Structure 1
Amino acid sequence: MPSPSSASLPPSRKRRAFLRWPVLLGVAAVIGYGLSVAMHWDDRGLLWLKERFESSSERKESVWLPDYTVDIDAKVLPGMEDDEASDLAYNRQTRTLFAVMGKNPFLVELSLDGNVLRKMPLEGWENPEGLAVLEDGWLAIVDERAHDLTLVKVDAATTSLKRDDYQRYDLGKSAKSNKGFEAIAWDPTRQRLVIGEERPPKLFTWSTDGRSPLTGDKQPLASDQLDLRNLSALGVDPRTGHLLVLSADSNMLLELDEHGEQVSFMTLLGGFNGLEDRVPRAEGVAMDEQGTLYMVSEPDLFYRFKKH
């Protein structure tokens, strides 16, 4: 039996149908606004507009993430589908990458093409989530569950690492115990480690020459520009000293200058920057001295971006 047309509806039913549309539009508007706030689309929109007015010289003095295009897209790291890639760091001395696996703790060395060179079990770590390469073979590993970082020494002969063989440094309690200190990066220009708390996103620094035991304590770093849902990883551009801030929940990579101001960003969704699909859960970022950008995602994916 055909449904009655709107013209044949009684006046009371037509009135109710007419009044329903403003309600539905209002609900859609509220949902849209909530999503825009949660995803920080409003802030990204302002930054996008700001990017349009940057001069060519200002762009050259920054990383300028909009100019990057993926050239290795979601390469699978063999045999690591159950290990959860948690962070990534570049070693300028060996021109290789190191990644840390958080679920089944081990360290893996990768070529710049994302090929596995060796795996090193991490004995005694609970939940290694952050990794930085310092100087002369020293690496810093952040354990989110233990709220500490450990400095370890790695060379060509290293086959495994025992946590009890190295000194640990307490990072203190975080605002949320299960969303604690997760990110770390080495800033050679300023001779410091930059440490990130996942949620709410916060930054800290710890002064060091990259070769000696740490002294003093971590210090808070102004981070009011971190309008991200979470902080997954940190990287430092060795050419400009700009900080790269990765957020898995926001599907975003953000560039901050030496003053902590937002400079540019990259959206990690399919169709942007050459990506075929969304980066599932971006957990590690690194950059080499040529400006090539590297990324890992849970569970076992490797990405490389180059500037065009």
Structure 2
Amino acid sequence: MTKPLFCALLLSFGCDGPAAQTPAAARFASSAEASSAAPAASPTRSSPYAFNRAAATYNLPPELAEISGIALAGPDRLAGVEDESGTLYFYNLRTQRIDSTVKFGPKGDYEDVARQGDAWLILRSDGTLFRRTATETTTHATGLTAANEPEGLTYDAASGQLLVACKSEAGAGLDDTKRAVYRLNPQTYQIEPKPAYVLDVPAILAADLGQQKGKKGPKVSQFAPSAVAIQPGTGHVFVLSARGNGLVELDKQGKVVAVQTLPPKLFPQPEGLTFARNGDLFISSEAGKKDGQGLVYRFTATAALN
């Protein structure tokens, strides 16, 4: 793709929608201080989204069978990355086809994508962040490593928050029952020393609402973050886990307000999460088998968001 055409593509996509710290320093931050950000999981309601009834379903092409992260690129487009190639895909929700692709990096384990102004941010599983503009790609060390397994990334233009969710080691002196969501400095792309949100995995598993109110179905059996997104209006943080098909909603203070199990038949491996400006929620899932398709579902809130 020529530079003028690529520039025009970037500008045509509407947007729906902080101190440096080394990994070692973050790992040895005060455990007592960091754990104060981990209130007990005590949900106050169920999710406003009915995850067994999608408003729309999108069957993805073979290139996105292993889709690992999504972000809105306008009212009718999604940007997506998959696990293996350093390619950004722009998928048209109306035609259900890939409009264009942009090569941003070498082959690698890419986990999520976010839009920040006119730039695209892509997260690799070793903690490296790729920033792609119309003219260049730059790489940034976040302070996270492969031991943390950073998998979720989101940018919220309303609050200016850039968040990254870790699948494995929480760092900051936290024990192995915790999972962390860090803020990144939006200029340097390095993590703050203290997690913005700490998830207590045993408490989340115990609080799963999937078995309450007479509902039948699987409970969340594991929780290891694979995606994160901020809900417009409420500012609530949603954290998705492919393991156990769990979805946790946190309020601005980090309190768990809802825990939900996603139906395994619809979501073989849910990896991507993003919101539209009106609060509609998009969730992507990798194909469950070799000959399967990657999928994206759109959900409309069935209750008032407050």
Q: TM-score range by the shorter chain?
A: 0.5 to 0.7
Aligned-partner Cα distance in 2 for 1:104–1:167: 17
| CA 1:64–1:51: 2 relative to 1, 3 Å | same
Aligned residues: 227
The amino acid of 1:224's aligned partner reads L
Q: Does 1:293 align with 2:281?
A: yes
CA offset digits 1:252-307 (Å, max 9, x no partner): 2221111111122332115xxxxxx2400001011101111111111322211122
Equivalents in 1 of 2:301, 2:144: separation in Å? Answer: 39
Shift of 1:143: 0.9
Counterpart pick for 2:143 among 169, 172, 180: 172
Change (3 A) 1:291 1:68: farther
Which residues of 2 match residues 135-154 of structure 1 at below 5 A?
A: 135=117, 137-145=118-126, 147-154=127-134
Work out whether residues 50 and 299 of structure 2, in 8 Å CA contact, stay in contact via their aligned partners in 1.
no
- In the alignment, what sits opposite 2:198? 223
Mapped partners of 1:103, 1:202: distance in 2: 25
Three-state SS of the structure 2 residue aligned to 1:69 is coil
Q: 1:279 corresponds to which residue?
A: 267
Q: For 2:197 and 2:63, how far apart are their aligned partners in 1? A: 36
- Which of 251, 257, 268 is the matching residue for 1:263? 257
Structure 1 match to 2:185: 207
Determine if contact 1:66/1:265 at 8 Å carries over to the other structure.
Answer: no
CA distance in 2, matches of 1:91, 1:112: 11
Q: Among 71, 75, 89, which residue is 1:108 paired with?
A: 89
User: What is the Cα deviation at residue 95 of structure 1?
Assistant: 4.8
- Do the aligned residues in 2 keep the contact of 1:69 with 1:307 (CA within 8 Å)? no
Higher relative contact order (CA 8 A, sep 6+): 2
Please tell me the residue identity of whatever aligns with 1:223.
V
Determine the C-alpha separation between the residues in 2 that align with 1:205 and 1:197.
11
Q: Distance in 1 between matches of 2:84 and 2:233?
A: 33
Structure 1 residue runs of 4+, over 6 Å off? none
Identity %: 21
Shift of 1:80: 2.2
RMSD: 2.8
- C-alpha separation between the residues in 1 aligned to 2:51 and 2:224? 24
Q: Which runs of 5+ in 1 are unaligned?
A: 1-42, 53-62, 155-160, 271-276
Looking at structure 1, the residues matched to 200 and 88 of structure 2 have their Cα atoms a distance apart, in angstroms, of 32
Residue segments in structure 2 that go unaligned for 5+ positions in a row:
1-39, 170-178, 205-221, 288-293
CA distance in 2, matches of 1:123, 1:224: 32
In the other structure, the counterpart of 2:30 is: none
Show the counterpart of 1:237: 231
Alpha-carbon distance between aligned partners in 2 of 1:103 and 1:189, rounded to the nearest angstrom: 32
CA contact (8 A) 2:141 2:190 kept: no
- The CA distance in 2 between the partners of 1:215 and 1:184, in whole Å, is 12
Please give the per-residue CA displacement for 1:59-80, whole angstroms capped at 9, x wherever unaligned.
xxxx73358831234x321222
Tell me how far apart the structure 1 counterparts of residues 102 and 69 of structure 2 sit (CA, whole Å): 15
Change beyond 3 A, Cα 1:110–1:265: farther
* TM-score of the superposed pair, with normalisation by structure 2: 0.65
Q: Deviations over 1:150-176 (max 9, x none)?
A: 21125xxxxxx8xxx4322112344x6
Distance in 1 between residues matched to 2:101 and 2:138, nearest whole Å: 22
Query: What's the counterpart of residue 119 of structure 1?
Result: 101
Q: Which letter maps to 1:151?
A: R
**Cα 1:115–1:242 shift into 2, 3 Å:** farther
TM-score by length of 1: 0.65
CA distance 1:173–1:244, shift in 2 (3 Å):
closer
Structure having the higher Rg: 1
**Alignment match of 1:72 (pick from 28, 44, 56):** 56
1:186 is matched with 155
Residues 248 and 192 (structure 1), Cα distance of their counterparts in 2 relative to 1, 3 Å cut: same
Whole-Å Cα distance in 2 between the matches of residues 214 and 172 of structure 1? 11
Structure with a larger share of its residues in helix: 1
Which amino acid in structure 2 is aligned with residue 266 of structure 1? Q
